[in-house]
């Protein structure tokens, strides 16, 4: 005789951002700790997608309305990686990397752009410039950092010429 155990799933928070805790599996087979961590990471990563999308939308609006840049395109995937926002500021072709966090407790969003990420952005920018024949413009890398506090309006910080194309 065996007893059938049911999976128990708890929803913590609202429907928009579920955090799921798996307590047990079927027929007495328990999930290992690493499987539970894997599932938690999958759902945790899903939570960041709406925040990233909201941040990119807000950054595009800020770029267009406040900075008065002319938006060319967004979310370009290329051999080097992804370019969040590409805009024109006079004779400058501006590649804007958008970073956001729900709070600034551990690090600032700007600090999350390390050397390897900058290298990928440079490679992607070179590809974009060559493929669209935009050599007449001066390339520039800006960072827009957005912090979403628990209450109140998001804080937007713009870092002009955050790093160079040839560092």
Full set of structural domains in the chain with CATH: 9-42 (no CATH), 48-163 (3.40.1350.10)
**Interval 11-17 mean pLDDT:** 39
Q: Give the count of beta carbons closer than 10 Å to the beta carbon of residue 98.
A: 22
- Reply yes or no on whether the pLDDT at 101 is more than 80: yes
**Interval 54-80 mean pLDDT:** 95
Residue 159, both tokens: 């870092």
Please tell me which residue, 80 or 119, carries the higher pLDDT value. 119
- Reply yes or no on whether the pLDDT at 11 is more than 50: no
CB of 80 closer than 8 Å to CB of 127: yes
**Alpha-carbon gap, residue 120 to 146, rounded angstroms:** 21
Say what percent of the chain tops pLDDT 90.
51
**From 7-16, 88-97, 157-166, the region with the lowest mean pLDDT:** 7-16
Residue bearing tokens 């966090």: 101
Q: pLDDT-derived band of residue 37, with 50, 70 and 90 as boundaries?
A: low
**Interval 53-76 mean pLDDT:** 96
**Alpha-carbon gap, residue 118 to 99, rounded angstroms:** 13
**Interval 74-83 mean pLDDT:** 92
- Reply yes or no on whether the pLDDT at 150 is more than 70: yes
- Reply yes or no on whether the pLDDT at 43 is more than 80: no
**Alpha-carbon gap, residue 160 to 6, rounded angstroms:** 55
Q: Give the count of beta carbons closer than 10 Å to the beta carbon of residue 124.
A: 20
Q: Please, which residues have CB within 8 angstroms of residue 8's CB and are 6 or more apart in sequence?
A: 22, 23, 24
């Amino acid at each position: 005789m065996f007893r059938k155990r049911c999976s128990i799933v708890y929803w913590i928070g609202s429907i928009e951002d579920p955090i799921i805790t798996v307590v047990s599996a079927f027929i007495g087979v328990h999930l290992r700790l690493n499987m539970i961590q894997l599932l938690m990471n999958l759902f945790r990563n899903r939570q960041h997608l709406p925040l990233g999308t909201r941040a990119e939308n807000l950054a595009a609006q800020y770029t267009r309305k406040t900075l008065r840049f002319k938006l060319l395109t967004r979310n370009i995937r290329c051999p080097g990686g992804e370019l969040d926002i590409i805009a024109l500021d006079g004779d400058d072709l501006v590649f804007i990397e958008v970073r956001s966090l729900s709070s600034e407790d551990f690090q600032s969003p700007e600090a999350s752009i390390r050397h390897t990420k900058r290298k990928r952005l440079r490679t992607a920018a070179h590809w974009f410039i060559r493929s669209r024949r935009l050599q007449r413009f001066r390339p520039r890398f800006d960072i827009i950092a957005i912090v979403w506090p628990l209450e109140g309006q998001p804080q937007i910080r713009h870092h002009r010429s955050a790093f160079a194309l040839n560092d």
